Structure 1
Amino acid sequence: MSSLNNNLIHAFQSNWVSLVISLVIIGVLYFLGRKRVGFGSRVLIALGLGLIAGIFFNKFKFDATSVSTIGSIYVNLVKMLVIPLVVVLVINSITSISNLGHLRKIGIKTISLFLITTGIAALIGLLVALAFDPGSGIAQEIPKTFKPRDIPTFSQVILDLVPSNPISDMAGGKVVPVLIFSIFVAIAMVHVGSKKPEAVQPVKHFIESFAQIMHQVTKYIIRLTPFGVYALIGAMAAKYGLETLAPLIKVILATYTALLLHFILTFGGLVTFVAKVNPFKFFRKAYPTIAVAFTTRSSYVTLPVNLEVITKRLRVSPKIASFVAPLGATMNMNGCGGVWPAVVAIFVARVYNVPLGISEYILIVLVSMISSIGVAGVPGPAAISTTVVLTALGLPVEGLGLVLAIDAVVDMGRTAVNATGTTVCTLLVANSEGEFDRESFNRDEEDQMELNPV
Structure 2
Amino acid sequence: MENNLIQAIQTNWVSLLVSVIMIAALYVLAKKRVKFGTRVLIALGLGLIAGFSLNIFDQDATSVQTIGTIYVNLIKMLVMPLVAVLVIKSITSISNLGHLRKIGIKTISIFLITTGIAATIGLLVALVFNPGSGITQSVPEGFTAREVPTFSQVILDLVPSNPIADMAAGKVVPVLIFAIFVAVAIVHVGSKKPEAVEPVKAFVASFAEVMNQVTKYVIRLTPYGVFALIASMAARYGIDTLTPLMKVIVATYVALGLHFILTFGGLVAFVAKVNPIKFFRKAYPTIAVAFTTRSSYATLPVNLEVITKRIRVSDKIASFVAPLGATMNMNGCGGIWPAIVGIFVAGVYNIDLGLSEYVLIVLVSMISSIGVAGVPGPASISTTVVLTALGLPLEGLGLVLAIDAIVDMGRTAVNATGTTVSALLVAESEGEFDREAFNRDEEDQLEMNPA
The two structures share one fold, judged by TM-score above 0.5: yes
Report how far residue 110 of structure 1 moved.
0.2
Rounded Cα–Cα distance in structure 2 between residues aligned with 1:158 and 1:183: 17
The one of 187, 191, 197 aligned to 1:190: 187
Rounded Cα–Cα distance in structure 1 between residues aligned with 2:29 and 2:372: 42
**What is the total number of aligned residue pairs between the two structures?**
449
Rounded Cα–Cα distance in structure 2 between residues aligned with 1:102 and 1:8: 59
Rounded Cα–Cα distance in structure 2 between residues aligned with 1:304 and 1:11: 34
Rounded Cα–Cα distance in structure 1 between residues aligned with 2:9 and 2:319: 46
Look up the match of 1:331: 328
Look up the match of 2:109: 112
Look up the match of 1:366: 363
Which letter does structure 2 place at the counterpart of 1:247? P
Matches within 5 A, 1:54-203: 54-203=51-200
Matches within 5 A, 1:367-386: 367-386=364-383
Which letter does structure 1 place at the counterpart of 2:111? F
Cα deviation code 1:98-133 (max 9, x no counterpart): 110000000000000000000000000000000001
Which letter does structure 2 place at the counterpart of 1:342? A
Rounded Cα–Cα distance in structure 2 between residues aligned with 1:347 and 1:380: 20
Report how far residue 87 of structure 1 moved.
0.6
Rounded Cα–Cα distance in structure 2 between residues aligned with 1:340 and 1:173: 24
Q: 1:34 to 1:145 in 2, by over 3 A?
A: farther
Look up the match of 1:263: 260
Report how far residue 11 of structure 1 moved.
6.2
Cα deviation code 1:387-437 (max 9, x no counterpart): 000000000010000000000000000000000000000000000000000
Report how far residue 145 of structure 1 moved.
3.8
Rounded Cα–Cα distance in structure 1 between residues aligned with 2:376 and 2:261: 28
Secondary structure, in 3 states, of the residue corresponding to 1:246? coil
Report how far residue 146 of structure 1 moved.
1.8
Q: Percent identity?
A: 80
Rounded Cα–Cα distance in structure 2 between residues aligned with 1:145 and 1:55: 28
Long gaps (5+) in structure 2: none
Rounded Cα–Cα distance in structure 1 between residues aligned with 2:404 and 2:374: 19
Contact 1:289–1:309 (8 Å) recurs in 2: yes
Cα deviation code 1:184-217 (max 9, x no counterpart): 0000000000000010000000000000000000
Q: 1:10 to 1:241 in 2, by over 3 A?
A: farther
Which letter does structure 2 place at the counterpart of 1:448? Q
Look up the match of 1:302: 299
Look up the match of 1:351: 348
Secondary structure, in 3 states, of the residue corresponding to 2:93? helix
Which letter does structure 1 place at the counterpart of 2:72? V
Report how far residue 51 of structure 1 moved.
0.5
Report how far residue 21 of structure 1 moved.
1.1
Look up the match of 1:393: 390
Secondary structure, in 3 states, of the residue corresponding to 2:283? helix
Report how far residue 13 of structure 1 moved.
3.0
Which letter does structure 1 place at the counterpart of 2:413? A
Say if 2:422 is the partner of 1:420: no
Matches within 5 A, 1:23-62: 23-62=20-59
Rounded Cα–Cα distance in structure 2 between residues aligned with 1:109 and 1:50: 39
Rounded Cα–Cα distance in structure 2 between residues aligned with 1:123 and 1:13: 51
Rounded Cα–Cα distance in structure 2 between residues aligned with 1:192 and 1:382: 40
Secondary structure, in 3 states, of the residue corresponding to 1:97? coil
Rounded Cα–Cα distance in structure 2 between residues aligned with 1:193 and 1:182: 16
Secondary structure, in 3 states, of the residue corresponding to 1:366? helix
* TM-score normalized by the length of structure 1: 0.98
Q: 1:280 to 1:31 in 2, by over 3 A?
A: same
Rounded Cα–Cα distance in structure 2 between residues aligned with 1:275 and 1:376: 27
The one of 282, 285, 293 aligned to 1:285: 282
Say if 2:225 is the partner of 1:228: yes
Report how far residue 140 of structure 1 moved.
4.8
Look up the match of 1:238: 235
Look up the match of 2:208: 211
Which letter does structure 2 place at the counterpart of 1:146? F
Secondary structure, in 3 states, of the residue corresponding to 2:350? coil
Which letter does structure 2 place at the counterpart of 1:383? S
Contact 1:146–1:404 (8 Å) recurs in 2: no
Look up the match of 1:314: 311
Report how far residue 9 of structure 1 moved.
8.2
RMSD (Å), alpha carbons: 1.2
Cα deviation code 1:313-332 (max 9, x no counterpart): 00000000000000000000
Rounded Cα–Cα distance in structure 1 between residues aligned with 2:5 and 2:159: 49
Rounded Cα–Cα distance in structure 2 between residues aligned with 1:407 and 1:146: 14
Long gaps (5+) in structure 1: none
Rounded Cα–Cα distance in structure 2 between residues aligned with 1:326 and 1:11: 40
Report how far residue 147 of structure 1 moved.
1.6
Rounded Cα–Cα distance in structure 2 between residues aligned with 1:408 and 1:215: 30
Look up the match of 1:430: 427
* TM-score normalized by the length of structure 2: 0.98
Look up the match of 1:440: 437
Contact 1:46–1:229 (8 Å) recurs in 2: yes
Say if 2:13 is the partner of 1:13: no
